[in-house]
Amino acid sequence: MNQTKILSEQDLFRNRVICIALAIAFVFSFLGSRLWYLQVIEHEEYQSYAEGNRIRLRPEPGLRGRILDRNGQILAENRPAYHLQMVWEDAPKPLLTLSKLSESFQWSLSELKEKSQYASRSPFKSIRLKSDLSTDQAAFLQTYSESFPGVTVEIQAARYYPHGKIAAHVLGYVGATNKRTEELPKNQKRSRSIDGKAGLEMTLNDFLTGLDGGRQVEVDHIGRELRTIPPTIASVPGNTIQLTIDLELQKVVESAMDNQTGAVLVMQPDSGEILAMASFPSYDPNWFVNGIDPNLWSELLNDEDRPLENKIVQGSYPPGSIFKLVTAYAALDQQLIDPTHRETCNGYFYVKGRKTPFKCWKSGGHGAVDLIEAIRGSCNIYFYQLAMEMGVDKLAHFAKLMMFGEKLDLGFASEKTGLIPDSEWKKATLNDRWYPGETPSVAIGQGFVSVTPIQLANFVNLIASGGVWHPPKLLRDQADSPSQPILDQRIVPPLLQGMVAVVNDPNGGTANIARIDGFTVAGKTGTAQIISHETRKNLTEEEKNLRKYQNHAWFAGFAPAEAPEISVLVLVEHGQGGGKAAAPVARKIMEFYHEHRYGQSVASSFNDQTVPFSWQLNNAFDQP
């Protein structure tokens, strides 16, 4: 009995030992399999976690290329910007770190918390809490880094425009890219985080963008860099661009406008190079570098003077009396007149079937005038008569020959074409025929006619260069496009003499105020109506004085007339009269050029001698 009991107890003990052994074996098998899973199957993931806790990747975007003026002065460059970064996992008490930052710099704690929420999505990845710290703020954080665990100050390049609003519409501005990371080139995922949004910054963005580099660094428990782990990949800066713009002349241009709105363009007629280009009002491209304030952005968008618009290529206006030179050329080319042809201006011009006569701007008229006198005094009646003899279609043909109504492709976005009307256009657009009573307005640059400032400057350059077209350009190293003869060089001299008379004739040209002693200026004024005479009659006296109803003022000219080196186009919006508002601006610019840029006198482009003011044109059309 006892023996049986002993055997039973031994069996029970053995079973218990086996159960315990199996349990131990199961536990160790589970632990072993789990260890194997972690070390083998999940090896790469956990290794990355470990590396992320110790190793940081510091990307180094390529610097954006600089933009220089024609003399090497900097127009756009890069400056160091200090950004506040935080790695959530490096801060033992991250919310406490945020509180300390808020208290130390009077920053909004809720804003810091909102930005830091993104940290949990990317472990051990830094997130930007503040951009563009002051040097004092950056120095404080660096000095007391122990008090802000997980926080680092990162230095990155930021776009910088040292001259503020100067040449803003030429340069444009930059902002955060609209493209997703996966859409960007592999070697530009950091460099392309900033893209050009306007001006040359946008059109030459690919040329200005650099190539990414980077390095790996080892950090301590609060994220401070300990050492760089080779290899290091150097970033490559973007290309430097040199413009044809003359910075000092550009400053004079922007000062000469004296807070008026409009546009100014200064060029070299014999090369097409643009020396200065400005649109008014302007803006500071630095406002956009780190994201523009929403209130300021709204203010710019809603400003009725359109500060964000580059009016040189995006503004479309009636050219006014400058267009009379187109009418004159067309009539000379068709041999309807010669420069001595006279018309009598008594102040009125009647068109059959139209009750109301067209008027000359000068009350009582100009009397009997020839072509040169008509240009000098800007006589409307003379050019009404020429247009009626030609018809609108012939006039439009010559205007299009001079590249009105088409883009000149200077390199800016949203360039307008303007409009040169003819009978076909009116039928297609308005489903109506062209009436003879609409033609006189076209002859003097009114009615349906509209042009951009670059088109009008391009036309004046054609006259200055003797009818040869030099495509406008902004880049110094841009390959010269072949020049093309556009106008008949035998017909240009009468236009030139008329323009010289406008400025220099002591009997009274419309732009005598632009005269400069020792520097013969040739020019033409224009006054472009905003509303018709009939509409103005229906306005109250108070409404008539409103700025928005005042005429635009133009002046276009070049100097020295004997061999032009510089051309200037000025548009003063609502300036009322070209001679009153635009010509004085042009004079300031040309005076600066004469004093600081103009060298020795050179021979005339029309003959080998200086062209005197009294130059006679009797034989101008007898040349072979």
Q: What is the mean pLDDT of residues 189-203?
A: 87
- Per-residue pLDDT of 135-173, as tens digits, reads 898 888 888 888 888 888 888 888 999 999 999 999 999
Please tell me which residue, 232 or 323, carries the higher pLDDT value.
323
State the virtual CA torsion across 78, 80, 82, 86 in degrees, nearest 10: 80
Asked if 263 contacts 314 with a C-beta cutoff of 8 angstroms, the reply is: no
Per residue in 531-589, pLDDT tens? 877 777 788 888 788 888 899 999 999 999 999 999 999 999 999 999 999 999 999 99
Q: Please, are residues 456 and 418 in contact by the beta-carbon 8 Å criterion?
A: no
- Indicate yes or no: pTM above 0.85: no
pLDDT of residue 90 exceeding 80, the answer is no
147: tokens are 């008090």
Q: CB of 491 within 8 A of CB of 350?
A: no
Which tokens in the block code for residue 556?
């276009």
User: What is the spatial distance between Cα 456 and Cα 471, in angstroms, rounded to a whole number?
Assistant: 13
pLDDT digits (tens, 9 = 90+) for 125-145: 778 888 888 889 888 888 888
Mean pLDDT of 303-319: 96
Q: How far is CA 334 from CA 326, 395, 498, 624, in A?
A: 12, 11, 19, 16
**pLDDT tens digit string along 288-307?**
998 899 999 999 999 999 99
- Please give the pLDDT value at position 171: 97
29-49 average pLDDT score: 64
Tokens of 46: 């956990």
Half-sphere exposure of 72 (CA within 13 A, CB side): 0
User: What pLDDT score was predicted for residue 584?
Assistant: 96
| Residues shown for the chain | 624
Using the Cα atoms of residue 537, residue 543, residue 546 and residue 548 in order, give the sign of their dihedral.
Answer: negative
Q: With H, G, I as helix, E, B as strand and everything else as coil, classify residue 241.
A: strand
Which of 52-61, 181-190, 290-299 tops mean pLDDT?
290-299
End-to-end Cα spacing for the chain: 149
379, amino acid identity: C
Q: Taking residues 1-12, what's their average pLDDT?
A: 64
Is the confidence at residue 348, as pLDDT, over 70? yes
HEC sequence for 562-593 = CCCCEEEEEEECCCCCHHHHHHHHHHHHHHHH
Q: What pLDDT digit, counting tens, does each position of 240-266 carry?
A: 999 999 999 999 999 999 999 999 999
Domains detected in the chain: 56-107+115-242 (3.90.1310.10), 247-283+291-298+305-596 (3.40.710.10)
Q: Read off the pLDDT band of 57 (50, 70, 90).
A: low
Are the beta carbons of 249 and 593 closer than 8 angstroms?
yes
CB under 8 Å to 434, separation ≥6 — which residues?
392, 421, 422, 423, 426, 427
